[in-house]
Each structure stands twice: as structure tokens, then as C-alpha cells.
Copies of this chain bind each other. A is one copy, B any other.
Amino acid sequence: MNATKEFIIVESSKLFLRKNFKEVTMQEIVQKTGLSKGAFYHHFKSKEELFTEVLNYFFTHVFVHNYEAYSTESFYAFYHDYANAVQNIGKRYLENMKDEENSFFNMNYFTLIFDALRIFPDFRQTVVTGFKAEIEIWKSVIGKARANGEIQSSMTDEEIAMTFISLSDGIAMHMIVRGIRINEVRDIFLNLWDKLYEQIKV
């Protein structure tokens, strides 16, 4: 990809972490990139096209889990690796803000998704596919842990997976609303995960 185009995506992605699609103006984008409107429209056919690229950037470079790197030795090791990765995602998220005056995030993983769904209804399929893939990975680790005798529960693998994932998402959302520091979120849901784990470990 063209370097300038990539530069525009990365720079304007910072704007989309503070305001939603409608609130970010072309004027702000050209100001942030230091380019002109003509230059922008040379690389993108519309503001919407930029936004699709920004979303793609977020979901392939920022809000992304590298599951291959997580231990599948035990469920315990797996979800601890996952929690640490969430911490790193938070750090990448904050890096996108360090050149802003008021380092307060008004958009987040969830609002970005809902904003995108409103503008691009087809985006739903992409998100749902991603969710399902994530659940499958958790299920397989959990199933293995159950077979190993690491854990034991009346819940199905899928129920355990959904409980862990949804709990962390719910906690994250509450903490974002409360304005808590991103790095503290991990500790809060990891503590609860450990407590849940205690109840299912053999």
C-alpha cells in the first residue's frame, strides 16, 4: 500500500478514537495529516472509504488477538495469556492518543463496532464471524482442559467460553464508562476469572 495512504489511515484513525464517523470532519482529517483535500481525494474516493480502511486497520493491528501465541497447555495458562494480551491491546490503543492534548478516549472497541454497523450493515457478518471464531478457540481449549482432568463443570464448553469472554467485555465496558485507567481493567476481570476458575478446577 502507498505510504501516504497508509499515513492518512493511521493519522485519521486517531480521530476516530475520539469521535464517531459523523463527528469527524474532512477538515480535521486534512489538518491532522497536513495534506490538502485534493491530496486526500486522490487517495480515497470518499470519507466512508477511509473509514472502512480505518476499521480494517483497527481490527487487524490494534484490537486483535494473536491466539497462536497463547499457551494451550492448560485453560489456566490460556486465559492468563489472553488477559495479558488484552493489556497489550490497551497499550496499543493508548499509543494512538499520545499526541493529543486531552488523552481521554471517547470511542472504544464497542462504540466503533456499533458505529460501523450503522454505516456498513454488511460489517455485521464480519464481526459475527470473528466472534464465532474466537468462541471456537476458547471452546477447544476448554474441551481439552476438561478431557485432561484440569477442570470439571456442569456447564458446556460453549457456556464456559461465553461466560469468560462476555464477563471480560462487560467489565471492560463498565470500566470504560467509569473512566478507569485501561491498564487496570485487566486486573479486575482477571481476578474474577481466577475466582470462576477456582470453582471449576478439579
Contact = CB atoms under 8 A, between A and B. Distances in A.
B131 A118 contact: no
A179 interface: yes
Contact of A110 (B114, B124, B159, B198): B114
Interface size band for A:
35 or more
A147 to B, nearest CB: 20
Q: Which secondary structure dominates where chain A touches chain B?
A: helix
Interface of A: 19-20, 22-23, 106-108, 110-111, 113-115, 117-118, 124, 127-128, 131, 153-155, 159, 162-163, 165-171, 173-174, 177-179, 188-189, 191-192, 195-196, 198-200
17 contacts: A20-B20, A20-B118, A22-B22, A22-B23, A23-B118, A107-B118, A110-B110, A124-B179, A127-B177, A128-B177, A154-B195, A154-B198, A155-B192, A159-B191, A163-B167, A166-B171, A173-B173
